[in-house]
Chain A
Amino acid sequence: MTALLVALRSATVSFGAKRALQGIELAVQVGERVAVVGANGSGKSSLLRAVHGLVPLHDGRRELADPAPRIAMLFQRPYMLRMSVLANVELGLKLQGIAHAPRHAQALQALQRVGLASQALRNARVLSAGQQQRAALARAWAMRPDLLLLDEPTASLDPTAKREVETLIEQFAAQGTTLLMSSHNLGQVKRLASRVLYLEHGRLLADVPTDAFFNGPLPAEAALFLKGELPWA
């Protein structure tokens, strides 16, 4: 019986009149690698934010395991402050109140993990997009998250950078970090995910293991999406 990390029960998220998510039932277990797919505007980002707790639920509940899991998030375009890469990676730790010396050590270790130790003192803004995303990964990883949320993490990257970041994500998953990521890249989903969620207009229309998503029988809309025939929302 695997442990529950976080769950959404009948969750609804609204932005003004618009319903971004409707009646979502989702349970994420420890060690899973869940991918969320769907057209633009289907609610993928909102789902991730709802799981993280960044947006309030209009209706429904968000349940957390006890003790509450540490959650970190990676965004499509990482926000690097105008300071050194190291200082950026330390930011999350600083906000947690961790003292200077251990903070410094943890951040450096995270940078080594993603292969950016040599860039530690450079201004983060001069790094390439791929390097910045790896730095963001280091920033997230330095906080030792139980759950890593990724919002289209490689959408803005060139193929080489894409591969580098994917490799790192995979390594983190292999070490036991639970993943929940949204992606437009179905190949990436096939490579990384163990379970696929399909969203359309804020509703969860399919929730199946990866194998079943790509081969097995699917609800009509999901099947259409898969065939690439779904129009951009």
Chain B
Amino acid sequence: MGMMDSVRRALVAAGLAIALGAVQAQPARSIVVASTTSTEQSGLFSHLLPAFTRATGIEVKVVAVGTGQALDIGRRGDADAVFVHDQAAEEKFVAEGFGVERLPVMFNDFVVVGPHSDPAGIKGSDLNSALGKLAASQASFVSRSDNSGTHSAELRYWRAAGITAPGARGMAYRECGCGMGPALNIASAAPG
């Protein structure tokens, strides 16, 4: 029947188009690097990668997610290199056989950021006593709470300062489950 024929023809054409599109090849030389949002947002990659590509001819595709997710991507073999900043997690990754080699590239300084008025009086103190003063105060503290390298470090330091439940004594412990930028935004918007 005339009409069904043209329908069939259209379907075959569409099918071919889809098949051809799906067989899209990867560019000849490229690698996938799973990294963190903090690293990408710091601008490090826009500085390093063009030079790398010029020197080696390899295109670098950066997938920027949280540390946890970046390591997971590495475990699945979907990335050729993982570029994160959680030493303990990285060493475990290599020990479990997911990674070939761990190369130290950079380190972070973690700082506690707060308003000028310094309601908990922590300016100038070392981290341990600062955390102690915060926990005893009425101030509010924003935690990223997203299983990121930053978050794991935060939790380690609370434990090291001997504080098991940060919000127990009056400090408002706000867990946002978010990245660096939004966490900073929330902190600057909150009073105290």
The reply, when asked whether chain A contacts chain B directly with Cβ atoms under 8 A, is yes
B98 to chain A, nearest CB (A): 60
A83-100 CB mask vs B (1 if < 8 Å, else 0) is 000000000001101010
Selected A-B contacts with CB under 8 Å, 7 pairs: A94-B2, A94-B3, A95-B1, A95-B3, A97-B1, A97-B2, A99-B2
What B residues does A97 contact at CB under 8 A?
Answer: 1-2
Q: How large is the interface on B (under 10, 10 to 19, 20 to 34, 35 or more residues)?
A: under 10
What A residues does B3 contact at CB under 8 A?
Answer: 94-95
What A residues does B2 contact at CB under 8 A?
Answer: 94, 97, 99
Distance of A94 Cα from B3 Cα, bound (Å): 7
Distance of A95 Cα from B2 Cα, bound (Å): 7
A55 to chain B, nearest CB (A): 23
B1-30 CB mask vs A (1 if < 8 Å, else 0) is 111000000000000000000000000000
What B residues does A95 contact at CB under 8 A?
Answer: 1, 3
Q: How large is the interface on A (under 10, 10 to 19, 20 to 34, 35 or more residues)?
A: under 10
Q: Which residue of B lies closest to A95 (CB)?
A: B1
A91 to chain B, nearest CB (A): 9
Quick one: which of A97-112 are within 8 Å of B by CB? Answer: 97, 99
B7 to chain A, nearest CB (A): 13
Q: Which residue of B lies closest to A96 (CB)?
A: B1
Distance of A95 Cα from B3 Cα, bound (Å): 7
Q: Which residue of B lies closest to A91 (CB)?
A: B3
Distance of A220 Cα from B2 Cα, bound (Å): 53
B155 to chain A, nearest CB (A): 65
Q: Which 7 A-B pairs have the closest CB atoms?
A: A97-B1, A97-B2, A94-B2, A94-B3, A95-B1, A95-B3, A99-B2
A187 to chain B, nearest CB (A): 41
A95 to chain B, nearest CB (A): 6
A103 to chain B, nearest CB (A): 9
What A residues does B1 contact at CB under 8 A?
Answer: 95, 97
Distance of A94 Cα from B1 Cα, bound (Å): 8
What B residues does A99 contact at CB under 8 A?
Answer: 2
A100 to chain B, nearest CB (A): 8
What B residues does A94 contact at CB under 8 A?
Answer: 2-3
Distance of A97 Cα from B3 Cα, bound (Å): 8
B145 to chain A, nearest CB (A): 57
Distance of A95 Cα from B1 Cα, bound (Å): 6
Distance of A97 Cα from B6 Cα, bound (Å): 12
B160 to chain A, nearest CB (A): 75
B61 to chain A, nearest CB (A): 49
B3 to chain A, nearest CB (A): 6
Distance of A99 Cα from B2 Cα, bound (Å): 8
Q: Which residue of A lies closest to B5 (CB)?
A: A97
Distance of A97 Cα from B2 Cα, bound (Å): 5
A7 to chain B, nearest CB (A): 29
Distance of A95 Cα from B4 Cα, bound (Å): 9
Distance of A97 Cα from B1 Cα, bound (Å): 5
A70 to chain B, nearest CB (A): 17
